[in-house]
Amino acid sequence: EDQVTQSPEALRLQEGESSSLNCSYTVSGLRGLFWYRQDPGKGPEFLFTLYSAGEEKEKERLKATLTKKESFLHITAPKPEDSATYLCAVQAGGGSNYKLTFGKGTLLTVNP
């Protein structure tokens, strides 16, 4: 069974204080690893897809990296508007390759 574990559950940063969120996974044949951002009262919003170990993607203050066992979402010099819940999900290969298995998320709060 595919599993995704995110840590920490919650993270509080000061504006400008860089940090990383972790997503550990077990999956039978990784097809893709996804990062989403979710604001209160809204649906998840797509950030990145990573497909193979060693791959990195960046968007503004966010950078996602992938190894064979985990992914990191690095946040550089965060701003209060980066406050949100960050969700990680994996998509396995095989017959049910359309399904995403999600972690419980990391609630990030950035204080001004």
Partner 1 sequence: GAGVSQSPSNKVTEKGKDVELRCDPISGHTALYWYRQSLGQGLEFLIYFQGNSAPDKSGLPSDRFSAERTGGSVSTLTIQRTQQEDSAVYLCASSLPANVLTFGAGSRLTVL
- Establish if 46 lies at the interface with partner 1 (CB under 8 A): yes
> Are the beta carbons of 61 and 82 closer than 8 angstroms?
yes
Instruction: Report the SS3 class of residue 51.
Output: coil
- Establish if 24 lies at the interface with partner 1 (CB under 8 A): no
The span from the CA of 95 to the CA of 97, in Å, is: 6
- 37-46 per-residue burial string, b: 16 or more CB within 10 A, e: under 16: beeeeeebee
- Establish if 41 lies at the interface with partner 1 (CB under 8 A): yes
Ranges within 50-109 binding partner 1 (CB under 8 A):
87, 89, 96-105
41 or 54, CB closer to partner 1?
41
45 or 81, CB closer to partner 1?
45
- Establish if 110 lies at the interface with partner 1 (CB under 8 A): no
